[in-house]
Amino acid sequence: MQSICPSWKVRLLTLPIIIAVAAWFFVKPVRVILPEAAGVSCLSASVCVDDAARFREANELYAEGLAFVTPLLESIHGRPRVIFCASRACADSFGLGARSAVTLATFGTVIGPGAWKPYYVRHELIHYLQAERLGTLGLLFKPEWFVEGMAYGLSQDPRAPLAEPFESHRRRFLAWHAALVKQTVWQAAEGL
């Protein structure tokens, strides 16, 4: 049997490193995995900030979000990590772009400077729970009305109407959710 020549072995071994470095620079949301390396301070196991003076505020939003979401959707098994960016530069370093906030599966959430509000944090914690309960891959195959409709509907987002298609997604999810009798939302989601 012919062995792979050493230079190919080296290339194969270094490929994951090259991909990881490229993702760090070009797919910036992956920085939630190592937020300290992206320049924010994680002042607790779950809450990171770019402005230490606003840590208390961030911590309160995080605690409120968890306390709100948990009884609605059963307990969270993991400990979601949330990065609160007070500055645009921080949000940009995580590639937030036009988004107010983003959740990268169960790896972490970034809250942008305009999203320090209870309903935004709840919305992102709901996305975390979706990834935890349905799996990152499973979530990719769920319909958008379910994924976004749940996050907008159960976070009690006060904006009405939301920009489309989110208003329709929210209405559709809330009607589906209200019709559940014996199944939990996660059991019913398996059939979607």
- Between the two ends of the chain, the Cα-to-Cα distance in Å is 48
Cis preceding linkage at 6, omega within 30: no
90 binds Zn ion (CB under 5 A): no
Report the residue number, 40 or 126, with the smaller CB distance to Zn ion: 126
CA distance 141 to 129: 16
CA distances from 117 to 76, 104, 112, 113, 138 (A): 21, 19, 10, 10, 29
66 binds Zn ion (CB under 5 A): no
* Phi-psi map region of 79: left, alpha, beta (phi>0 left; psi -120 to 50 alpha): beta
State whether residue 92 is helix, strand or coil.
Answer: helix
Alpha helices (runs of H) in 27-74, residue ranges in sequence order: 55-73
126 binds Zn ion (CB under 5 A): no
Report the residue number, 49 or 101, with the smaller CB distance to Zn ion: 101
Structure tokens at 96: 């937030």
Whole-number minimum distance, CB 25 to Zn ion, in Å? 25
Q: Which residue is closest to Zn ion by CB?
A: 151
Structure tokens at 56: 């208390």
185 binds Zn ion (CB under 5 A): no
151 binds Zn ion (CB under 5 A): yes
User: Which region, judged by CB under 5 A, interacts with Zn ion, from 49-57, 62-70, 146-154, 164-172?
Assistant: 146-154
Report the residue number, 66 or 151, with the smaller CB distance to Zn ion: 151
Report the residue number, 54 or 142, with the smaller CB distance to Zn ion: 142
Structure tokens at 135: 């799996």
115 binds Zn ion (CB under 5 A): no
Report the residue number, 90 or 147, with the smaller CB distance to Zn ion: 147
User: Which region, judged by CB under 5 A, interacts with Zn ion, from 31-39, 81-89, 145-153, 182-190?
Assistant: 145-153
Q: φ, ψ for residue 130 (rounded to 5)?
A: -60, -45
154 binds Zn ion (CB under 5 A): no
Report the residue number, 54 or 171, with the smaller CB distance to Zn ion: 171
Question: Which stretches of the chain bind Zn ion, using CB under 5 A?
Answer: 151
